[in-house]
């Protein structure tokens, strides 16, 4: 199996996922800043105090994506698989968080 032939497909899939998730990321950040502002603690410090777990998850996602990309060619296959599965699981957590925020916003 020629790994080099899969590189463009692999890179395109990751790029497409990032583009598709960009609106979600923008909405999460926008919602976090709006919530901090409403509660009288605006800015990055207010967002960090309220949403530390989301920031940590985003940091872990950045690391797992980097691990996956670094292990594509001649890398450790099981490590790449674990990194990919971790990324997908954490993105699902972020989507669930976004849906919870939207549901709370509609109740107000």
Q: What is the pLDDT along the chain (108 residues), one digit of tens a residue?
A: 566 777 788 778 777 877 887 787 787 788 888 888 888 888 888 888 888 888 888 889 889 988 988 887 778 989 988 998 998 899 899 888 888 877 877 776
pLDDT of residue 86: 94
pLDDT of residue 3: 66
What pLDDT does residue 1 have? 57
| Burial state string for 62-96 with b = 16 or more CB within 10 A and e = fewer than 16 | eebbebbeebeeeeeeeebeebbebbeebbeebee
The predicted pLDDT at position 79 comes to 93
């Amino acid at each position: 199996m020629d790994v080099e032939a899969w590189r463009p497909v692999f890179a395109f899939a990751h790029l497409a996922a990032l583009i598709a998730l960009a609106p979600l990321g923008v909405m999460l950040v926008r919602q976090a800043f709006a919530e901090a502002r409403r509660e009288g603690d605006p800015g990055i410090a207010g967002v960090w105090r309220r949403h530390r777990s989301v920031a940590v998850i985003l940091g872990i996602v950045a690391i797992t994506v980097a691990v996956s990309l670094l292990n594509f060619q001649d890398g450790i296959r099981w490590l790449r698989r674990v990194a990919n599965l971790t990324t997908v699981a954490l993105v699902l957590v972020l989507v669930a968080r976004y849906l919870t925020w939207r549901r709370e916003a509609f109740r107000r």
